[in-house]
Amino acid sequence: MSRLIQMILGDSARQSAAAWHRYADLLEKDNPTDAEIEEVKAILLKIGRRPEDLEADRTIVLRLRRLQQLVHDGSGLDEQIQKARKAVLDDRAEVKRILNELQAKHHQLKVQSITLYRRQSLAESSTRELNAILTEHPQLLGHIPPIKTGSPAASPPAAPAQSPKTELDEPARTVSAVDDDDLDDPAIAEMAKGLGTAVDGQ
């Protein structure tokens, strides 16, 4: 093959490659000008494409650009991924700490609620027994007024020195105010269990 033919073929290949490149660039345009439309028509003749090929060729070009963008957006993210994962772990530890604090506070509130109800329960049962004793011994205890149910509690009398422990120190009745789910807590369940003992005579 002569050098002249080689040069012609080489120049023709370069022109064809440039035409294809320009063709692809024009296919990416959403709103081509009239001049660009005429340029596309001329390129079609040069590269041997038909007008009906335009839509398929444009779809291929746009898909390629989309893939290039996805590759670009997802490249070089190793450091960011490591930081994000570390942030998740750190946040998980903080969430666990906060939940533990809330659980401890919730447990404390439950215990406080049961303790207060226990005191109220003892007061009610003690009121009934106190009034019963006053009724049984009017002469001996006539100077002591009865306590009305639901009335504000009077100031307790001063306890005598070394006063022996009585049955009044024991729980009066079952604490019905304890929710079923409270009993799932071992500490609360044990406390509630101690409230089931009844005072003699009730």
**pLDDT at residue 141 in the model:** 92
**pLDDT at residue 150 in the model:** 61
Q: Where are the domains of the chain?
A: 3-73, 85-150+168-196
d(CA 122, CA 170): 8
pTM for the structure as a whole = 0.46
d(CA 103, CA 90): 20
CA-closest candidate to residue 29, choices 83, 4, 65, 1: 65
Residues of the chain with pLDDT under 50: 4-5, 7-9, 155, 158-178, 180, 183, 195-202
CA-closest candidate to residue 189, choices 197, 198, 199, 178: 178
**100-104, long-range: CB within 8 Å, 24+ apart, which pairs?**
none
19: Cβ–Cβ under 8 A, 6 or more apart, which residues? Answer: 43, 46, 47
